Structure 1
């Protein structure tokens, strides 16, 4: 039986493909602790569109702890049956720094071409092998936590390195990296809304998404305000408080106001440490003085400090450290702001006058009355 010069089997194959794609896109996550993930998956799948036969590179970017890796791993698990080969390269930034790109190229090839051994010793040879061996293979590749364009050039190169229908997902904190590589589309997950944030925290703290006991409702609100919808913070704090009594909760919350959670801030600090010196200064000024102020005003102040704010602020935006709202004001997440302020405090824990920036009234009063302020210290109050 022939339909418009095509054999019946070809139509059946097309129909089966479309059905499998729909099943992938409507499959819901059953893990109760992954609150709010289904909407994110739906939005990401609309960009991936595995029903098309092109080769597509999709980036997902956002601040540390927003859930990029979790989202990519679930998408990878769900989509894997639709591809001939697959690989999830976790922590590309860290592995590349420790072991080099050649080790990542070998991992990519070994996971897609199972039971084969690859012996090469430089990235150019590795790139040539990837492009030759995978050019006719429909593959799914996830590159997690990329921070250098060389990672992309050496691991996924050009689209013709892979067979039709292949999909490549890249997670990063740096949107500019994705744009400069000319990815097909970018997905930016947002922080959790208040309802999902409460449900996620409850799962971690009480092993249930139901409303906690009366004694813990107000205490939970303090933690939720501190986390500001960041999944990492909700999971870390919920797990830490799980099984502890009310007195211990109150003590932990009081401590948070003075000493923020190290695990959370260390994860966020990765983005700061990768900045150039001018961008670090701009970031610290915004964290200490200007969060929520009008962009034009901040630009004028920073320009007077010769911090080159036109490029510097754009870098911070693209690295998911700040954003501009509809009123042209610059904002950073409260935990990112706290991370910046902690960096300043760490310069001199006991003597505020030796810090590069002062913003709290008690510290300003101390250095002025004790006459300990450094000529390099910026002060506002």
Structure 2
């Protein structure tokens, strides 16, 4: 099992899709289950996911699952002799994995299960022999290429748009979601329209970008929300000890709360114990306030 985690919009699903497309044909069977969180809110949703998995691997549309437990048994019985590649994309609760696949110990040798999640805490408990991978933002060259593909339909911008393109790259800070949305938005626009749109983005964040970033934010409890907004407004770039000294006077339970915010990739702590937050997350937090 491999857990892939990272900030919303950083490309976890894209990475999983690429792995799937490269490797699915070397397995006896494969299944890519999307939006696990959204599609497993009810027993019926879980059963439908189980039926989809069985169909994609076995190719039998007549297989019907009568209950979640029966579905787990059918999956384990049917796939125990097959090497399979299974992607569970968008998990936000640990029990979603078990309700779909059980203990994940009934698959043949050589099988691979890949889980994508926004929360590191969800993929850490996978156990010995399994691994986790954090999807980082794009480096500058990768960001330029992705943006140019959407804004200009080629790898290089127009000569008179280099500086404007670089402003977008600095604004997006390597987040593929932002680069894609802004690239599509800027395609075919004049230079004057670009300048106007950039000023607008800097003052009013894109709803499409905020919608994705807010998902992790909205999963925080009330205390964690307060801490996140305090960091966005006052403490981005400050040392952890300084932030703890101030916020602990407000009974915000930092020792238990900050690790949860970090696990959701909303805040990072560097080797010098300094807190930092992606500029777009900070912009979102200040907009919320």
* TM-based fold match above 0.5: yes
Equivalent of 2:263, from 295, 310, 318?
A: 318
Instruction: State whether structure 2 residue 48 is matched by structure 1 residue 103.
Output: yes
Higher RCO structure, 1 or 2 (CA under 8 Å, sep 6+): 2
- Give the direction of change, closer, same or farther, for the CA distance of 1:121–1:337 in structure 2 (3 Å limit): farther
Q: CA deviation at 1:122?
A: 2.5
Aligned to 2:70: 125
Aligned to 1:374: none
Q: CA deviation at 1:247?
A: 1.2
Cα distance in structure 1, aligned partners of 2:118 and 2:190: 37
Q: Tell me the alpha carbon deviations over residues 190-217 of structure 1, each in whole angstroms, 9 at most, x when there is no partner.
A: 1111111111111110111124222x11
Aligned to 1:70: 14
Instruction: State whether structure 2 residue 191 is matched by structure 1 residue 246.
Output: yes
Aligned to 2:155: 209
SS state of the match for residue 147, structure 2? helix
Counterpart contact for 1:135–1:160, Cα < 8 Å: no
- Give the direction of change, closer, same or farther, for the CA distance of 1:125–1:140 in structure 2 (3 Å limit): same
Equivalent of 1:84, from 28, 32, 40?
A: 28
Q: Tell me the alpha carbon deviations over residues 59-98 of structure 1, each in whole angstroms, 9 at most, x when there is no partner.
A: 1100011111011101101101110110000111111237
Cα distance in structure 2, aligned partners of 1:306 and 1:102: 43
Q: CA deviation at 1:161?
A: 1.8
What stretches of structure 2 of length at least 5 have no aligned partner?
A: none
Q: CA deviation at 1:116?
A: 3.9
Counterpart contact for 1:202–1:238, Cα < 8 Å: yes
Q: Tell me the alpha carbon deviations over residues 154-211 of structure 1, each in whole angstroms, 9 at most, x when there is no partner.
A: 2233242211110011111111111123270011121111111111111110111124
After superposition, the CA RMSD in angstroms is: 1.4
Equivalent of 1:234, from 176, 179, 182?
A: 179
Q: Tell me the alpha carbon deviations over residues 274-294 of structure 1, each in whole angstroms, 9 at most, x when there is no partner.
A: 111111111111111111111
- Give the direction of change, closer, same or farther, for the CA distance of 1:223–1:121 in structure 2 (3 Å limit): same
Cα distance in structure 2, aligned partners of 1:170 and 1:340: 28
SS state of the match for residue 169, structure 1? strand
SS state of the match for residue 105, structure 2? helix
SS state of the match for residue 59, structure 1? strand
Counterpart contact for 1:149–1:181, Cα < 8 Å: no
Runs of 4+ in 1 over 6 A off after TM superposition: none
TM-score (norm. length: structure 1) = 0.73
What stretches of structure 1 of length at least 5 have no aligned partner?
A: 1-56, 345-381
Counterpart contact for 1:202–1:212, Cα < 8 Å: no
Cα distance in structure 1, aligned partners of 2:69 and 2:252: 38
Aligned to 1:93: 37
Instruction: State whether structure 2 residue 233 is matched by structure 1 residue 288.
Output: yes
Cα distance in structure 1, aligned partners of 2:68 and 2:228: 35
